[in-house]
Amino acid sequence: MTEKQIDELARRGKLRRLHDLESSILKPPENSHRFSLNANDSLMKACFDGNVASVRKACLRGADICHMSKCKNQLLRGHYPITVASQQGHEEVVKILLEEYNANAEAETSDGWTALLFACKEGQEETVKILLDRINNVNSVSHKNACGKTPLMWAAWNGRLEIVEQLLRKGASMEVKTRSGGTALHLAVSRGHDHVLQLLLSRGADIRHKNRSGQNVLIVASEYGFQQSAKLAHQAFIKQEDPLEKSIQESRGEYILPVNLVDNDGNTGLHLAARHGRHTVAKMLINYGIDINLRNYEGQTALIIAAKHGHANLIRYFLDCHANVDILCSRGWSALMWACAEKKIQAARLLNPDNVEASKRIANLRRARREENKDNFDQT
């Protein structure tokens, strides 16, 4: 009804009609609809804040425990009460929602996150335990979110040993792959979580698995510079080798040492260690028998890569280990040419033919002096 029509009713003195009109305009919506909507919003906010009393109050008002929020708040939109509580680390709220109101522990947000995924990512051990007690479907334990990671992957990535143990006991798969083709092993090694790596290997994880870049766990550990992880990975390679298959390959001349395995670009762990200046890892790989003069698919050796990136300490060490300075890459460049092209002055000086022999003699003298000083210290 327009304002003109209302004025006409007032002019005619239709008071009863005006009263009915006023009542219809000011009449609130149905209590059930209004009450439920506000209760759902209140429940989401209470779960976000971790307010136990407000959670119970909202549920008493009729809030739907399985309601997916569609509010404008991006922190809550697409979430369920239990996923919000788990994401924010409110263990008591999660426990109440499950035990008192029978919330669905396997509920997924709009982008595939579950309460278990959030709890594993945030490292909430007790929350994970509560959720696992309510989850009966093994597939839910290995469920991937939109990022392509499972609860086990998040726990391994963050080094949460206790959570990893709980998930494995519940039947979580160690062979599920991320978008990049890696497993929980790759994620644990990339962060240097040796304790998680040991646990996964003891449960039978495949050390030979490669990601989409063709990198096994040993190569990943070498790239990131985690010496202990690389050592554990190498030991696992040796342990998981089939003796019969190894002897057959050796008789045919086809056996490849674990340290000499390459990725899709032909890089070994030593190539990647040389790129990032990982001196201790490079030294360990050489002690394990890696071919220091092995070339990748661009024809580059570890020495060439170290020269290209100007890692002088590595260059000195490679020269001490008799790395070939005359090898040319596929572009026809030597290590010295790469050092000059990249303006790595110190590397170029070390690789200068006039200085290579001198640097070797100096290194030998330094080594002899260190040993002499050590002997003198022991005698005193």
Q: What is the pTM of this model?
A: 0.78
Per-residue pLDDT, averaged over 94-115, amounts to: 91
The pLDDT of residue 34: 44
Based on the number of CB atoms within 10 Å of its own CB, is 365 exposed (0-12), middle (13-18) or buried (19 or more)?
A: exposed
Residue 31 clears pLDDT 60, i.e. is over it: no
Per-residue pLDDT, averaged over 240-245, amounts to: 89
Tokens of 18: 């005006």
Alpha-carbon distances of 351 from 103, 278, 319, 326, 357, rounded to whole Å: 68, 19, 9, 10, 10
Residue 35 clears pLDDT 70, i.e. is over it: no
CA contacts within 13 A on the Cβ side of 336: 13
pLDDT classification of 69: cutoffs 50, 70, 90: confident
Residue found by looking up tokens 């996964």 in the block: 200
Residue 242 clears pLDDT 60, i.e. is over it: yes
Separation between Cα atoms, residue 124 and residue 279, nearest integer Å: 36
Separation between Cα atoms, residue 260 and residue 289, nearest integer Å: 8
Separation between Cα atoms, residue 305 and residue 310, nearest integer Å: 8
The pLDDT of residue 293: 96
Separation between Cα atoms, residue 286 and residue 284, nearest integer Å: 5
Q: Report the candidate in 220, 229, 316 with the shortest Cα–Cα distance to residue 263.
A: 220
Alpha-carbon distances of 302 from 10, 47, 318, rounded to whole Å: 95, 54, 8
Q: Report the candidate in 311, 257, 321, 309 with the shortest Cα–Cα distance to residue 283.
A: 321
pLDDT digits (tens, 9 = 90+) for 156-195: 999 999 999 999 999 999 999 999 999 999 999 999 999 9
CB 17 within 8 A of CB 9: yes
Within 8 A by CB and 6+ apart from 124, the residues are 86, 89, 91
The residue extents of the domains of the chain are 25-173
Place domain 25-173 in its CATH homologous superfamily. Ankyrin repeat-containing domain (1.25.40.20)
Measured over the CA atoms of residue 172, residue 175, residue 178 and residue 182, the dihedral's sign is: positive
Q: Report the candidate in 59, 61, 79, 62 with the shortest Cα–Cα distance to residue 71.
A: 79
CB 280 within 8 A of CB 300: no
pLDDT digits (tens, 9 = 90+) for 321-358: 999 999 999 999 999 999 999 999 899 988 886 665 55
Q: Report the candidate in 142, 69, 127 with the shortest Cα–Cα distance to residue 96.
A: 127
CB 291 within 8 A of CB 271: no
The pLDDT of residue 72: 63
Separation between Cα atoms, residue 108 and residue 145, nearest integer Å: 9
Residue found by looking up tokens 């990975």 in the block: 233
The 8-class DSSP code of residue 158 comes to: T
pLDDT digits (tens, 9 = 90+) for 270-284: 999 999 999 999 999
